[in-house]
Chains A and B, each alone.
Chain A
Amino acid sequence: MKLGQNAVSTESRLSRFDLLKVTTGILLLGWLIRLLVRTYRVEVEAGAERFEELRQGSTPVVIAGWHEGLLASGTFLLDGLVSRGFPLALLVSLSRDGEILARLARKLGMEVVRGSTSRGGLGGLRRLYRKLSRGGFSVGIAPDGPRGPAHECKPGVLLLAQIAGVPVLPIASAASSAWRLGSWDRMIVPHPFARVAIVLGQPIGVPASLSSEELASASQELAETLNDLSERARLAVNSRYR
């Protein structure tokens, strides 16, 4: 058996026609997202002080949130951090869908790292590690990405934090009204003018001494934390805007 199980995917290669479609789509989508985000009323329901600390930019962190909240939490991070020069790198899969997301994220000002947390000789994690340890970037990962199952935490997130010696900052979001996409993650797309609640959890330190088994157990705890925070965000929007 080899150290890296799979070579890097070539799925991201696009034909010229696809490229034209994608580029046009990205421009429109980027514009649409910027417009949508401006209509959202975003409130940090818990962990505002952690957001402030993050904004001060003292140490890099791994920001972890479920894939379903990528847009809702992502727009918050975009507006609150990236647009103010905060260095944030995002892990995006090597798939064709990932190619579109990568182009969109770059268009919106984020640094993009292509790869996965397990495929391609652990390439995605190694590139994220370089961003964290050498580039001074914080990184954003959906621990149930890139293809699910939804709300199942893979150990790569904690492993990365452990190796880089940085904490994991859990994030969850909910919207007062939203569409749900038909994708595996049933991604939340808040309606225009929706109120979006953001909840930031306690930073989670990952000691270097944790074994693989302990990391797997800690991943389960991270999943529970993210579910709790998501519920808290839902309760916040439901109680306030019923």
Chain B
Amino acid sequence: MDPKERALRLISEVCGVELETLKPETQLVAELGVDSARALHLLVKLEDELDIEIEDDEVAEMQTVGDILGYLDRQQPAVDG
């Protein structure tokens, strides 16, 4: 499965929302209610499933679903494998 699809499924699972409702502009904190606990769940699941390690400064820039997908785009060679 495409890493971005897998990421969307994980976001949907962790946040308890339908996959179809997720848009690139969806706000993680304001709309999906991602608090510290959910953020940690989401980040470790992304790292485990996609076999990546997300740097702290990258996490600090993630405000929307699109920011996460954009990050994965930039990591494409690493997560394609």
Contacts and interface: CB of A to CB of B under 8 A. Distances in A.
B61 A122 contact: no
Given A2-B62, A3-B29, A3-B62, A126 B43 contact: yes
Contacts of A155: 36-37
Interface string A82-99: 000000000000000000
Interface stretch (B2-10, B17-25, B52-60, B73-81): B52-60
B interface majority secondary structure: helix
Contact of B37 (A2, A115, A159): A159
B40 A159 contact: yes
Contacts of A5: 60
Interface in A116-138: 118, 120-123, 125-126, 129-130, 133
Interface residues of B, number: 25
Nearest to B28: A3
A7 B56 contact: yes
B44 interface: yes
Interface residues of A, number: 26
B56 A3 contact: no
A205 interface: no
Interface string A153-191: 001100110010000000000000000000000000000
B60 A129 contact: no
B34 A3 contact: yes
Contacts of B61: 2
Given A2-B60, A3-B62, A126 B29 contact: no
B36 A159 contact: yes
A239 interface: no
A156 B48 CA distance: 19
Interface string B30-57: 1000111111110110011000011011
B43 A1 contact: no
Contacts of A123: 56, 59
Given A120-B56, A121-B43, A159-B36, 10 more contacts: A1-B30, A2-B62, A3-B62, A4-B39, A4-B59, A5-B60, A126-B43, A159-B37, A163-B40, A212-B37
Interface of A: 1-8, 115, 118, 120-123, 125-126, 129-130, 133, 155-156, 159-160, 163, 212, 215
11 contacts: A2-B29, A5-B60, A7-B57, A120-B56, A121-B59, A122-B43, A126-B40, A126-B43, A126-B47, A155-B37, A156-B36
